[in-house]
Chain A
Amino acid sequence: MSTTITLTINGIEQPVAVELGESLLEVLRREGFTSVKHGCDTGDCGACAVLLDGDAIDSCMILAVAADGRAITTVEGLETDGRLHPLQEAMIDAGAVQCGFCTPGTVMSGIDLLSRNADPTEDDVKAALAGNLCRCTGYVKQVDAVLAAARVMKGGPDVGSG
């Protein structure tokens, strides 16, 4: 059974044709937002994380129809005025992007954290990234990147990265 819903994806409100039983993940990938990855389809890896009304969620665990009328942000939508989000820049500078498959989802969880806690500790960051599995980095440089982004977003000197 198909229907048409309205999603605001990266700031652009648009009608989207979906099957009732489809996950948000499937729909976003079909619509071309391929940063949203299939890693496990069981809500365990976080590679499909997106922001739904500002909160990071695993898009494999949500029906697309349940997101009707809501706002979704993916990493494709983070660039503003030709500038990457500070966390994207920090991930690159810290050497936190290895294979990069988990990077978009990890960035989403990092942004969610920074929206709730502008001054996180290392343990706060680790707890915030608990749902984003990475097999390449051992999380060291990812955690550094989130901490560095927090400093940049507070307007302080970016003393820790690069």
Chain B
Amino acid sequence: MQLTHLQSYVRPTDLPAAIDALRFGGRGTRLMAAGTDLVLSGSDEITGLVDLAGLGLSSVEDRDGTLAIGATTTLTDVMQDVATGTYLDGVVARMLQRVGTPPLRNAATIGGNLVRRQPWSDIIPLFRALDATVTVFDGEHQTMAIGELYEQAAHLTGAILTEIQLPRPPIGTAAAFWKFARSEVDVATLNCAVMLHTDGDRCTAARIYIGATPRLAAAASGAEETLRGAQLTGNAIADAARTAAGEIETGDDLRGDAAYRTRLVGVGVTRCLMEARDRIREVRP
């Protein structure tokens, strides 16, 4: 048996009921989307589960250019949705193709991934680079920048993540994602996500996030700064990559040591910036 101490399981059909079940469930009660991680955790601490599958939070929607994703949408459903395919040249779909395996993607949810905050998450660095916003419900709905999920560790206690919005990209925007893994189905040894805003040939703003360092994704703020106002030349890209490699703290685990990861930071930033630049050029020759 996986969760030997589990005493209660409920599948509420509306958000207030779900919040009540969570609040009155006691210390050992957890929210569950697909539960893929919870089940594998085999945790003895879990005594109650509130399954979010009945809340109707599975949908992908193009809202006037903004991509709105319900929190319990499976990775497969996000990946295969037409709206995802057109959003920023399909960068989200390409990233999801590298996450897990088809049976995992058929079960795991986008919200579950964001909330579980696994350091190797491919979704978190890309969504952060894309300036996503998230809506949570704790009795009432509240929308905030995705970074608040990670910068304020306790933010989601007693609340349910309901939706993720990827904002409509202004003209001259492109994004790229790069993942290095030991094999095609491994989690990242390192990953990198970039969004570039441009005005003509100049970069007006850049977002660069590096994940699996092996810690949770963080911004390469110095590198972002070097690109502000810069022409996207090979030199500028190399500068940004060097800066990122210098500022991102890396560590050792069985997928790679710190020095190797630092090399990957430079490679990932370079490749993402070049890809994003080329995508901008493709639409604006």
Contact = CB atoms under 8 A, between A and B. Distances in A.
The answer to whether any beta carbons of A and B sit under 8 Å apart in the complex is yes
Interface of A: 1, 3, 19-23, 26, 41-43, 46, 49, 52, 55-58, 60-63, 65-66, 68, 108-109, 112-113, 116, 127-128, 130-132
Contact of A65 (B7, B9, B106): B9
Nearest to B101: A131
Interface string B175-193: 0000000001100000000
Chain B interface main SS type: mixed
Of B2, B36, B100, B184, which is in contact with the most chain A CB atoms at under 10 Å from its CB? B2
Contacts of B7: 1, 20
A118 B55 CA distance: 32
B248 interface: no
Given A23-B2, A128-B102, 17 more contacts: A20-B9, A46-B101, A49-B103, A58-B107, A61-B34, A61-B40, A63-B9, A63-B35, A65-B9, A66-B34, A66-B53, A109-B103, A116-B80, A130-B102, A130-B184, A131-B100, A131-B101
Interface in B104-123: 104, 106-107
B101 A130 contact: yes
Interface string B8-44: 1101000000000000000000001011100110000
B185 A60 contact: no
Nearest to B46: A21
A62 B1 contact: no
B35 A43 contact: no
Interface of B: 1-9, 11, 32, 34-36, 39-40, 49, 51, 53, 74, 76, 80, 97, 100-104, 106-107, 184-185
A22 B106 CA distance: 20
Contacts of B9: 3, 20, 63, 65-66
A63 B11 CA distance: 13
A28 B4 CA distance: 18
A62 B36 contact: yes
Contact of A1 (B6, B34, B39, B184): B6
Contact of B51 (A21, A46, A66): A66
